[in-house]
Amino acid sequence: MNFGGIFDYPAKERKLNEVNAALEDPKVWDDPKRAQELGREKKTLEDVVLTLD
């Protein structure tokens, strides 16, 4: 079994940093749907990263 995709902490941490950077861009709020998607993705990634941290 390969759990690399699920438990790839460095990749999840990088993605969380990318999502945080995207949410800091004021233009993201021009597209509320995209901002909401990023917010949900951030929550999911934080749950994983903070649990493993």
Alpha carbon distance 18, 38 (integer Å): 10
Alpha carbon distance 2, 19 (integer Å): 26
Give 1's pLDDT tier (boundaries 50, 70, 90): very low
> Structural domain tally of the chain?
1
- List, for residues 3-31, the tens digit of each pLDDT value: 555 668 899 999 999 999 999 999 999 99
pLDDT at 40 over 50: yes
17: domain CATH number is 1.20.58.410
What is the pTM assigned to this prediction? 0.80
**Domain range spanning residue 44?**
4-52
